[in-house]
């Protein structure tokens, strides 16, 4: 989990500049669940859709030799 957290730290600045963040909800042998969160003054339209985040993080993890299926809980999907 520390390795995944370190990788997310590398990606966070791009999310944080728009008032968003990624929080680890759960990690298992094959799955990673992340929650996309927003501050009150976030630019929700500036952050790419959850499906794109999922693909991007899976690709980035594979480059680090970590093979996990990623689920992104995106509060915008409920709207």
pLDDT at 1 (0 to 100): 78
CA distance readout (Å), 60 to 43, 57, 79: 24, 5, 28
Residue-level pLDDT at 77 = 86
Whether 5 contacts 24, CB under 8 Å? yes
How do the pLDDT tens digits run along the chain, 79 residues long? 789 999 999 999 999 999 999 999 999 999 999 999 999 999 888 999 999 999 999 999 999 999 999 999 999 987 5
pLDDT confidence of residue 79 = 59
Distance (Å, rounded) from C-alpha 57 to C-alpha 72? Answer: 10
**Domains, the chain:** 2-78 (3.30.300.130)
């Amino acid at each position: 989990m520390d390795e995944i957290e370190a990788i997310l730290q590398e990606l966070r600045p791009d999310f944080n500049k728009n008032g968003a963040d990624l929080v680890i909800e759960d990690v298992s042998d094959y799955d990673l669940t992340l929650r996309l969160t927003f501050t009150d003054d976030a630019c929700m339209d500036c952050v790419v859709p959850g499906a794109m985040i999922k693909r991007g993080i899976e690709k980035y993890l594979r480059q680090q030799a970590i093979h996990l299926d990623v689920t992104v809980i995106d509060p915008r999907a409920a709207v």
